[in-house]
């Protein structure tokens, strides 16, 4: 082949190579974006479906309260109702929605939890609910049924591919993203508008307005910019030095945050979405896209990895309290400690892959909402005195450590925590450290999947 012909072919070959290279690069970027979208959607979907499940239980429990007779049965119902309402509030807080879209719904859930708590205390003392209280429960039941129906309508739209929750997190975007956000906003705004048709103050308990007035107590420091958010996100990811910062957007909600996309510098490997708070640059949550393989790490080793990870982020006074294993990952709950008192409201969840010990997920919103330096009261009774308040039917009673537990929205009580057994079941008993009253009883569920409480 002549030299002239080679010279003529060179631009063609170069163009083909450039086009092929750009195509491969474009495919890589598309693949990374798809995995990031999946990780982000998975987080919001978990919160949404958990909200749907908890609201469904709230409706069922309220319906049962209308036909149940006897203070003992009512007390059990109201205990579970209070727990479900609290869980639903936590789920709602994790969705990327503005306060204006959730204020009335949040207040309804607060009132349900508050009212259930007050009735639980009443019925636990042997006093039956009154006719007026029954009417209030009936009104709450009707509202819960409507809320349940509206949530299931949204669930159906999600199943049909007409709604993507991740679009709610973005304040800007192109064409379809803006349309997706508008549709998502309108669905939740419709719920809010419907809830406003009900009386605002069904029950004006001492904690009715807690969620509307609440601000994150764990946020400290100045407001950071986009570049600072990207830098901090790399420091928060396990092995983050090998990542580059991709797109950064803003997320709404109770804890305004930057959503930082982190991509492996090598072009291959797992991708992360990290939510960094605008105030202070704290870790709100992170989610990795990698599916975990077959487990090779045991729970103790994974727990220690989670603890070391939190220490590296500055969470030094934390203790593990519970864990759950889901397939190839373990999810550990850590609670803060102050003056040797476990602060159960201030928890961080860490997800560790059991194939190589990599941290794939963190959820710190509970900690950021609740954590602050508390003026803890001094116990008025000793651990030995509190132990005598534990049911004599329980055997092998152990423990006696101090723990701060939530008993109602924005109300916490200092308790002694004891563990005891009845037959094959293990229970946690919480005795008020000031007056010796039994505040809470939880059953510990041990299984191959982990240790949980009910």
User: Tens of pLDDT along 404-446?
Assistant: 998 765 678 999 999 888 887 888 889 999 999 988 887 776 6
Element spanning 413, H or E = strand 411-422
Can you list the alpha helix ranges (DSSP code H) found in 68-98? Answer: 71-94
> Per mean pLDDT, which of 130-144, 179-193, 251-265, 331-345 is the most reliable?
331-345
| Domain limits, the chain | 32-213, 226-368, 383-453
Which of the residue ranges 60-64, 159-163, 179-183, 350-354 would you say has the lowest mean pLDDT? Answer: 179-183
- Mean pLDDT for 130-150 is 86
Residue 134 has pLDDT above 50, yes or no: yes
What lies within 8 Å, CB to CB, of 213 at 6+ separation is: none
Supply the pLDDT for residue 101.
62
Share of the chain above pLDDT 70, in %: 74
What average pLDDT score do residues 358-365 get?
88
The residue ranges of DSSP E strands in 267-394, in sequence order, are: 272-277, 283-288, 318-326, 329-338, 341-353, 359-363
pLDDT band at 279; cut points 50, 70, 90 = very high
Q: Give CA–CA dist 439/454, Å, rounded.
A: 15
- Please give the mean pLDDT across all residues of the chain: 77
Residue 79, helix vs strand vs coil: helix
Domain at 226-368, CATH homologous superfamily: YycH protein, domain 2 (3.30.310.160)
Which residue shows structure tokens 């008192």? 341
pLDDT average, residue stretch 109-125 = 80
Question: 284-297: per-residue pLDDT in tens?
Answer: 988 887 778 888 99
The better pLDDT of the pair 144, 177 is held by 144
Residue whose entry in the numeric block shows the structure tokens 């495919």 = 27
What is the predicted pLDDT for the residue at 226?
Answer: 92
- Answer yes or no: are the C-beta atoms of 45 and 165 closer than 8 Å: yes
Percentage of the chain with pLDDT > 90? Answer: 21
Quick one: pLDDT at residue 99? 57
Does the predicted TM-score (pTM) go above 0.95? no
Instruction: With a cut of 50, say whether residue 83 has pLDDT above it.
Output: yes
Structure tokens at 269: 């490997």
**DSSP bridge partners of 258:** 250, 276
């Amino acid at each position: 082949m002549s030299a002239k012909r080679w010279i003529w072919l060179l631009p063609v070959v170069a163009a083909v190579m450039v086009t092929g290279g750009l195509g491969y690069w474009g495919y890589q970027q598309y693949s990374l974006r798809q995995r990031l979208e999946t990780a982000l959607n998975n987080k919001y979907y978990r919160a949404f479906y958990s909200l749907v499940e908890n609201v469904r239980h709230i409706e069922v429990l309220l319906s049962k309260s209308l036909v149940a007779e006897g203070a003992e049965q009512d007390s059990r119902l109201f205990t579970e109702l209070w727990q479900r309402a609290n869980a639903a509030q936590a789920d709602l807080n994790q969705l990327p929605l503005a306060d204006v879209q959730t204020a009335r719904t949040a207040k309804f859930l607060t009132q349900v939890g508050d009212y259930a708590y007050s009735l639980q205390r009443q019925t636990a003392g042997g006093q039956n609910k009154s006719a007026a209280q029954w009417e209030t429960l009936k009104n709450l039941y009707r509202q819960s049924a409507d809320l349940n129906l509206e949530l299931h309508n949204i669930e159906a739209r999600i199943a049909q591919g007409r709604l993507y929750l991740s679009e709610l997190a973005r304040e800007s975007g192109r064409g379809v993203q803006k349309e997706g956000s508008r549709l998502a906003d309108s669905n939740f705004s419709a719920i809010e508008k419907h809830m406003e048709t009900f009386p605002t103050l069904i029950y004006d308990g001492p904690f009715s307005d807690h969620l509307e007035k609440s601000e994150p107590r764990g946020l400290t420091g100045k407001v950071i910019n986009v570049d600072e958010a990207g830098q901090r996100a790399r420091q928060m990811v396990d092995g983050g030095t090998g990542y580059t910062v991709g797109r950064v957007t803003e997320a709404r909600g109770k804890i305004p945050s930057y959503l930082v996309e982190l991509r492996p510098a090598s072009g291959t490997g797992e991708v992360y979405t990290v939510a960094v708070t605008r105030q202070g640059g704290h870790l709100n949550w992170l989610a990795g896209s990698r599916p975990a393989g077959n487990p090779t790490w045991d729970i103790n080793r994974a727990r220690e990895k989670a603890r070391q990870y939190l220490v590296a982020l500055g969470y030094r006074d934390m203790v593990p309290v519970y864990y759950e294993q889901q397939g190839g990952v373990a999810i550990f709950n850590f609670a803060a400690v102050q003056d040797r008192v476990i602060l159960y409201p201030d928890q961080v969840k860490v997800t560790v892959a059991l194939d190589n010990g990599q941290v794939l997920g963190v959820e710190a919103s509970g900690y950021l909402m609740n954590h602050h330096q508390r003026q803890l009261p001094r116990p008025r009774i000793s651990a030995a005195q509190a132990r005598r308040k534990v049911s004599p039917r329980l055997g092998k009673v152990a423990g006696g450590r101090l723990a701060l537990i939530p008993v109602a929205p924005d109300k916490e009580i200092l308790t002694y925590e004891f563990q005891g057994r009845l037959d094959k079941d293990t229970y946690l008993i919480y005795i008020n450290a000031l007056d010796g009253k039994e505040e809470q009883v939880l059953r510990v569920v041990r299984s191959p999947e982990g240790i949980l409480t009910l």
